[in-house]
Amino acid sequence: MRLFVGLGNPGSKYAHNRHNIGFLAVDAIARRHGFAPWRRRFQGETSEGTIDGEKVILLKPATYMNESGRAVGEAANFFKLGVDAIAVFHDEIELPAAKLRVKVGGGIAGHNGLRSISAHVGNEYRRVRIGVGHPGVKELVHAHVLNDFAKSEQLWVETMLDAIADNAGMLADGRDSSFQNKVHLALEAKGIGKDEANGN
């Protein structure tokens, strides 16, 4: 069993923020793989389903970003899941827009959602880091992540979400590198980030 956590803030005013791309990613997975309707529990919302034979629980914490770990901790305890069964989808300002990286553990780079999760379950979970770009100035980061994606970004956002959903089975059975490569190939096929689609 896997626990896929999407990070974001609850409420319609945040729904299309860059900070909410984690929510958007697990929503896309739920739609693509015919998961059960979302229901409220674990201080959030969950949906259950199967991807390529692996049972997956999707979780969207409803605690606001900086308390996300409370929901993740409750769900992990309930299902008796170790930290190695958890994958967290989140926005990453240290990656260019339309880039994706999967890593286990590491730093939190000022991301309050990751800080909270690490405090509750430990640090060695998988992070699916979805690049949203950096505004260039530290003082503008808060506004950048809490603003909606621009119209000019919609193509890569939709392509990224489709590719994540299409290839989620690889992530479910631990083929992180293959998952990452498939997502980048899907973006490259649309002419997005072609110059460094398989870069580091």
- How is the beta sheet containing 86-92 ordered, strand by strand? 39-41, 44-51, 54-61, 2-6, 86-92, 126-131, 100-104
| Rounded Cα–Cα distance for residues 102 and 176 (Å) | 6
The DSSP element (H or E) to which 102 belongs, if any, is strand 100-104
Q: Cα 174 to chain center, whole Å?
A: 16
Q: Which of 19, 33, 144, 184 is catalytic?
A: 19
Q: Tell me the pairing of strands 2-6 and 86-92.
A: parallel
C-alpha pair distances (Å), 123 with each of 7, 126, 137, 138: 16, 9, 28, 25
Active site residue 19: yes
Catalytic residue numbers?
19
